[in-house]
Amino acid sequence: MPYRHVAVFRFSALGDVAMTVPVVYEVCRAYPGIRFTLFTKKTVAPLFVYPPDNLTVFPVDTKGRYRGFAGLWRLYRDMKSQGIDAIADLHNVLRTRVVGFFFAISGVKRAILDKGRVAKRRLVARKKPLPIQPLPTSFDRYRQVFARLGFETPKTFRSVFDDRHFPLPLPEGIESRREGEFWIGVAPFAKHEGKIYPLDRSESLVARLSQREDCRVFLMGGGGEEADLLGGWAEKYPRVVSLAGKRLGFAVELSMMSRMTLVVSMDSANMHLASMAGTPVVSVWGQTHPYAGFLGWRQSKENIIQLSDLSCRPCSIFGNKPCYRGDYACMQELSVERIWNRVEEILRREKK
């Protein structure tokens, strides 16, 4: 392998950055004699807990030192001083293309992510060929970038935690898991409306789970209104704890997820965080579809909850488009019973 120091780009969003972790960790561990530096936004850099010894995470302040075109030139100069001799661009946006171009004209080899935009547009078109077919996953696309640089990526990643890297202690106020007790995470929010299950039904799921004396439910979400709502649920139902808005940090949140029996999540960053921790996820899909390639790492297709026979799905890759029917049938017609039954099946298996 002719490289000594490989730069990896992926700046946002949180879920997409989380999806790089399995592939990047695999490549680094497969090539311990090569240095890798992952350049990502400052806010998500702490996500890379227990990185391989040959991986450095470089937090890029895009609102400070590396802001604007002058900032990109400054980033290039700072990177060049580190002896970068190959670029793996896992983002393929203007920022990464500009910096990559600077390296390319100086003779540095680079490989750029193929986002598959044309195929994704066909997948979400109103008049789409049926039945729809799965596209390559984001993990496959990231692997292809490394393959174009000559790297093979064995599928060995299970969790950021292993025999040498243990989860952090529980946050203050959280009692240890009792023998025979199930810990269930519920993450009812997502960035866009088309990916959020009706909150009254999510609450009914939480209420039902709270009736089981062998279960403790942990609610996950952001601050502000999300924290207020989930805090209300925690006060209303027994054996329910809200972690929303606690600002525990990625390492603690991942440690908590690693202890959970399962997580119920939308197509959101929490699905990918739980996947990083090796925890099964019952994932709920509305406007978006797993066939777009964003199902969590090593997540079972059996745990996907969606309306497969709704012909207008998927209508969006990211869930950020208004429903052209106006009724969000993809979520409104999805019964909470289906989610409950899937959770029950996983718990039955765990008891055996």
Instruction: Dump pLDDT digits (tens) for 77-100.
Output: 999 999 999 999 999 999 999 999
CATH class given for the domain over 5-148: alpha beta
Out of 9-13, 24-28, 55-59, least confident range:
9-13
pLDDT computed for residue 288 by the predictor? 98
pLDDT for residue 352: 73
- Assign 3-state DSSP to the chain and report helix, strand, coil percentages, each to 5: 40, 15, 50
Asked if pLDDT for residue 143 goes beyond 80, the answer is: yes
Tally Cβ neighbours within 10 Å of residue 128. 16
Reported as a pLDDT band with limits 50, 70 and 90, residue 195 is: very high
Residue pair 329/287 in contact (Cβ under 8 Å)? The answer is no
- In this predicted structure, the answer to whether residue 56 has a pLDDT above a threshold of 90 is yes
State the average pLDDT over residues 38-45: 96
DSSP-based three-state secondary structure for 58: strand
Instruction: Place 292 in a pLDDT band, splitting at 50, 70 and 90.
Output: very high
Query: Is residue 249 predicted with pLDDT exceeding 90?
Result: yes
Question: In the predicted model, what is the mean pLDDT of the chain?
Answer: 96
Return the ∠ at Cα 16 (arms to 287 and 131), rounded to 5°.
35
Q: Is the peptide bond before 188 cis (omega within 30 degrees of 0)?
A: no
Tell me whether domains 5-148 and 182-351 share a fold. Answer: yes
With a CB cutoff of 8 Å and minimum separation 6, the contacts of 5 are 34, 35, 36, 37, 82, 83, 84, 85, 86
pLDDT tens for each residue of 97-117 = 999 999 999 999 999 999 999
Over residues 192-209, mean pLDDT: 97
| 182-351: CATH class | alpha beta
Residue 66 has pLDDT above 80, yes or no: yes
pLDDT of residue 246: 92
For the chain, strand residue ranges (E) read 5-9, 35-41, 55-60, 86-89, 109-112, 182-187, 215-219, 240-242, 262-266, 281-284, 304-305
Per-residue model confidence (pLDDT) at position 188: 98
Residue with tokens 């060995």: 156
Question: Residue 53 carries which side chain, given as an amino acid letter?
Answer: D
Tokens standing for 238?
A: 């027994």
Residue-level pLDDT at 2 = 87
Share of the chain above pLDDT 90, in %: 94
Query: Binning pLDDT at 50, 70 and 90, where does residue 335 land?
Result: very high
Confidence at residue 129, expressed as pLDDT on a 0 to 100 scale:
83
Q: For the chain, which residues make up each domain, given as ranges?
A: 5-148, 182-351
Q: What is the per-residue pLDDT for 351?
A: 84
